[in-house]
Amino acid sequence: MSTTLLEIPGYRVHGQLGKGGMAEVFLATQESLSRKVAIKVLHSAEDEAFSQRFVREAHIVASLNHPSIITIHDIDRLDDGRYYLAMEFLPGGDLARHKGELFAPERALQIVRQIASGLAVVHDKGLVHRDVKPANVLFRADGTAVLTDFGVAKDLDIDSELTQFGIAVGSPAYSSPEQAQCQPLDARSDIYSLGVILLEMLTGSNPYRGGNYTQTVVNHVQMEPPPLPDSLGAFRGVLSRMLAKAPDERFADCRALLAALDEVELSDLDETQIRPALTLPEAAAPAPVAPRKRRSNMPLLVVLSVLVLIGTLTSAGLYIKQQREIAALLDQAEQRFAAGQLIEPAQDSAEQYFNQVLAIDDDNDAALAGLQRIREARIKVLTDLAEQRLADGLLTEPAEDSADYYYRQALAIDPQHAGVLAGLQKVLQARIARYLELAEQSIADKRLLLPAEDSAVYYYQQILGWAPDNADALAGLNSVALLYRDLARTAYRRSDFPGALAMIERGLEAEPQSPELLQMQGEHQQLLADARAANARAAADRAAREERERNNNPIKRAWNNIFGQ
């Protein structure tokens, strides 16, 4: 999507910050407060389940209030139905950008302490993040670490449907052993993930990351944390508990972890970097004792090996089962796609099977590409129908079988599709051309203003309603106004003043700002005023003359004298 076409009321979008399988993030300015924000926008509004998950993430984060948890400013929908989330912009990038770097112990401790304090608030709300990893640790300009991306956060009181079906959620390289094996999770799983991050910052590598998913899972289940060098000895106790395989052996919660982090003495780190060799004095030779039969550890090793093997096979089996299920769903989706069953029937369509894959693996490239192919195929079908209707002259009617209808159906799938937008423009130009022809015919038939919906003025005004600056329609209204001007002049020559005024007023209906008609209207009103004034003066003169005549009549004067009138 082009950022120049993205319009969000109240925000000025500057450019894209990142893009994922289901959403993209833009840098914008919130105009009301003139502050920079990051806006996360879903790619599509079609997946209602994912949209609700997106809204849920926003509500979860908005309910939390902590300096190390990202701040949510707003959540709303675009005109095309897609949800967006406006949050604080963190210019410092994420921790993943520093992969392979060695952090100063003080800085590593500071980052872990900040994230742990944020997680304490998350856990107090009865939630577990489930995806604590470097990419989800961002930094403010002042270096403060901030936890973000609560898309897979889970209420501890609600069983996870994904876990019920043996599907792990989160990032394998940072998942706890119980998370990797799809077991129930609690806050201690997040503590393990944070421990992996701390280990990686201190040593520059994540020892659990394997060459593939299965190996990574096995490493988390089996492999003990590598020994820390003496220079990092102060962290041994904390990391040992954070990375314990059994949840019961880890810190009970983040507050206990924070208390332990406060006990880490960084001053000890310098002391342990250089340590003089110590020579132990020779001990006296011990008295000989009778040899005692050593107890074999073999049975215990066998039991442990069997348990490890079972865990490995279980994890590998879950992964294989998951991959087989995904492959079967993708095969079903491709079959439906080939058969043209793109979105119907709803429970047996290509779209349905691709979405089922994403419910298992929300970043599955094949499923995401499949949904994009479905969108493109649907748009092509609709645009082909629209082109046919356009060629047949069915621009807007019938209402649900016209070029305009099919283009708008395609636009609902992709509001920024260039071909669809161009098609709607072609429909508009065709409608304008048709109405211009109707207007010209109406002028030829002398239907300038009437009938109300079949006249030249009507057709020109309709065009201007679609395209306010259309030059042909503006010129057409001007030509109608000039025709009425000529009719008014003809009426004046016949001394038909009422008829002339009627023509002037009709011309002004066509073009209210016509300079000639406005001048003629003003002159006509002045003529009427002059005529009324002349008539009034004539009437007054006539009355005065009649009065004088009455007073000059001798008979009338005698009569008045006799009768006293």
| Residue 180 · residue 174 · CB < 8 Å | no
| Residue 75 · residue 58 · CB < 8 Å | yes
| Residue 145 · residue 139 · CB < 8 Å | yes
Residue 163 CB partners (closer than 8 Å, separation 6+): 169, 182, 183, 184, 185
- What amino acid positions are annotated as catalytic residues? 131
DSSP letter for 8, please: B
Residue 53 CB partners (closer than 8 Å, separation 6+): 151
The whole-angstrom separation of Cα 235 and Cα 260 is 10
Buried b / exposed e over 99-128, threshold 16 CB at 10 Å, is eeeebebeebbbbbbbbbbbbbbbbeeebb
Per the rule left: phi > 0, alpha: psi between -120 and 50, beta: everything else, 41 is beta
Pairing assessment for the beta strands 23-30 and 35-42 based on DSSP bridges: antiparallel
| Greatest pairwise CA separation for the chain in angstroms | 183
Helices (H) and strands (E) in the chain, counts: 19, 9
Helix axes 515-551, 471-493, angle to 10 degrees: 20
**Single-letter amino acid code for the residue at 79:** D
**Single-letter amino acid code for the residue at 336:** R
| Residue 105 · residue 232 · CB < 8 Å | yes
180, with CB counted inside 10 A (0-12, 13-18, 19+), is buried
| Residue 534 · residue 512 · CB < 8 Å | no
Give the phi and the psi of residue 341 in degrees, each rounded to 5. Answer: -85, 75
Per the rule left: phi > 0, alpha: psi between -120 and 50, beta: everything else, 316 is alpha
Q: Which two tokens stand for residue 19?
A: 């893009």
The 10 Å Cβ neighbour count of residue 169 is 19
